[in-house]
Amino acid sequence: MQFEVKCLTSDSISFQNIEAANESEAAVLARNRGYVVLSIKPSGAPLERFKSQRSKFPLVLFSQELLALLDAGLSLVEGLEALSEKERHAESKKILDAIVSKLYEGQPLSAAMQDYPAVFPSLFVATLRASEKTGGVSEAMGRYVAYQTQLDYVRKKIVSASIYPFLLMGVGGLVVLFLMGYVVPKFSVVYEGSRTTLPFMSQLLLNWGTMLQAHGQVVLIVAVALFASGIYGFSRPALRAWLLQRMWHIPAIGERMRIYQLARFYKTLAMLLNGGIPIVQSIDMVTGLMQPVLRTRLNEAVASIKEGKPISQAMDSHGLTTPVALRMLRVGERTGDMGEMMDRIATFYDEEMARWVEWFTKMFEPILMALIGCVIGVIVVLMYMPVFDLAGSIQ
């Protein structure tokens, strides 16, 4: 099946379509072509994408289970063999068996996992590789589980806060479609035979109903075509990237997106630093996670750090901090515990983001309800305005 691979080249990020049996094979093919794989997703039919999502390797669950087995006293090989024996999904079991085989050959765990970049991200592998030098594989697993859990928490909070507004817009849109597609055409037939002079806005609304009554099939075909074109357009990475770039220029939303990106950046950087990876190498690994707006600034900050400037000064001069984060970075430089300070910065950003999402939803939901009510109310009033005029003339 076809896979859409997001790749990092020497100077930019590109998307490649690769034919492969699964995500792991697509990642290997992309790497053989000289690409650095950032993400992989199916690009075929919706059914194929659904099947691929169902077969995705549960990395966080795997890490939690392996961590529990290691803490219980099992060796690394014994733990992986136990997970392989209880695994029911054929593809996941195949990956675990292959890793166990490579461990028996004498390869370290990070090298065995490196052959499956679609399953084990580069951050995960790098953290394990650094921990293998000190024998702290369990600690590395724990750090990654905590890191991914925190990222998922923020993401789930944003998604859960978006459900009710989208539900309101969906219901409101269906009501408006029912009024404009069924009720208004019925009223237009009633008023068409009368010679009553209608208000201008009512006449426009009823003209729409008359047109829909006469050419309903054509309007339906056009509407379905526009809807399908919209879905296809949003499925294209180029359009999504363009829309994302435009959203960065909206003052309020762009600042929140920057805070979210910085929280993810500092959380990932803290995990790598705590795992023993040098700061410059850690930043180079995290660069691919950033949006293009911030990626250029980050590259400039890395160049400043290589020139000998303090981390806090380099980050601040390129717009990668806030006043609070800047103070924490300076404290980390004085104490030598940059990993802990960056983790605290990420936690602060996450809490700030959660508060903003909660405030925005509390403000946006009543405004959205009032707007939908006004639209529906205007349509109903325009439909019944001739009736009101007729009743006034009779009195």
* Average predicted confidence (pLDDT) for the chain: 78
* Statement: residue 53 has pLDDT above 70: no
pLDDT of residue 43: 64
Would you place residue 165 in the very low, low, confident or very high pLDDT band (cuts 50, 70, 90)?
A: confident
Would you place residue 45 in the very low, low, confident or very high pLDDT band (cuts 50, 70, 90)?
A: very low
User: For residue range 289-328, what is the model confidence (pLDDT) as tens digits?
Assistant: 777 778 888 888 888 888 888 888 888 888 888 888 889 8
* Statement: residue 212 has pLDDT above 80: no
pLDDT of residue 395: 52
Question: Superfamily for 59-149?
Answer: Type II secretion system (T2SS), domain F (1.20.81.30)
| Distance separating alpha carbons of residues 36 and 13, to the nearest angstrom | 9
Instruction: Write out the two tokens for 36.
Output: 């650095």
* Statement: residue 44 has pLDDT above 60: no
User: For residue range 232-277, what is the model confidence (pLDDT) as tens digits?
Assistant: 877 776 777 777 777 777 777 778 888 888 888 888 888 888 877 8
User: For residue range 119-162, what is the model confidence (pLDDT) as tens digits?
Assistant: 888 778 877 887 777 667 777 788 788 888 877 777 787 788 78
pLDDT of residue 55: 47
* Statement: residue 183 has pLDDT above 50: yes
| Distance separating alpha carbons of residues 262 and 47, to the nearest angstrom | 35
**Mean pLDDT across 153-181:** 81
Q: Which of 47-51, 59-63, 129-133 has the highest mean pLDDT?
A: 59-63
**Mean pLDDT across 80-86:** 87
User: Whose CA is closest to 4, among 37, 34, 32?
Assistant: 37
| Distance separating alpha carbons of residues 279 and 302, to the nearest angstrom | 9
Instruction: Write out the two tokens for 387.
Output: 């009736």
| Distance separating alpha carbons of residues 346 and 143, to the nearest angstrom | 14
Would you place residue 387 in the very low, low, confident or very high pLDDT band (cuts 50, 70, 90)?
A: low
Spell out the domain ranges in the chain.
2-54, 59-149
- What is the model's pTM? 0.63
| Distance separating alpha carbons of residues 64 and 152, to the nearest angstrom | 15
Q: Which CATH number is 2-54 given?
A: 3.10.20
**Mean pLDDT across 82-101:** 86
